[in-house]
Amino acid sequence: MFEDLVVEAVAGLPDWVRDTMENVELLVEDRAPPGQPGLLGLYEGIPLSKRGPGYAGVLPDRITLFRSTIEREARGSAGRLREIVQHTVVHEIAHHFGISDDRLREIDRY
């Protein structure tokens, strides 16, 4: 079910976003890393905005969603769970495009 919500969130993105995403994988982990119990998602990699002509042979970027944190935040509400998954997917994909947390706050999308 949770993975279905992730697939739904990605499918709901505009075509240009999905078409522009490159060398990135989405993962679901049960728990956030030690010391970060409130973390909903994490982007790790080289944002599209930082890739240059020498970008080749690089492992895929990773977007990880943390199931237990997201489910805890949803407090048992299926609708809220869907919203948090969608928000987290969009937030982490924004990082893949090179959009910082500061910029997301500026445009009220954090």
11-58 confidence digits (pLDDT tens): 999 999 999 999 999 999 999 999 999 999 999 999 999 999 989 999
- Model confidence at 109: pLDDT above 80: no
- Model confidence at 91: pLDDT above 90: yes
Q: What is the mean pLDDT of the chain?
A: 95
**Top-level CATH class of 2-45+61-106?**
alpha beta
Output the pLDDT for position 107: 80
Output the pLDDT for position 79: 97
Instruction: Kindly give, in sequence order, each residue whose CB lies less than 8 Å from that of residue 82, ignoring residues fewer than 6 positions away.
Output: 5, 8
Output the pLDDT for position 25: 97
Output the pLDDT for position 20: 95
- Model confidence at 110: pLDDT above 80: no
Using DSSP bridges, classify how beta strands 41-44 and 24-29 pair: parallel, antiparallel or unpaired: unpaired
Tokens of 86: 């969608």
What whole-number distance in Å separates Cα of residue 43 and Cα of residue 82?
20
Half-sphere exposure of residue 66, counting CA atoms within 13 Å on the CB side?
16
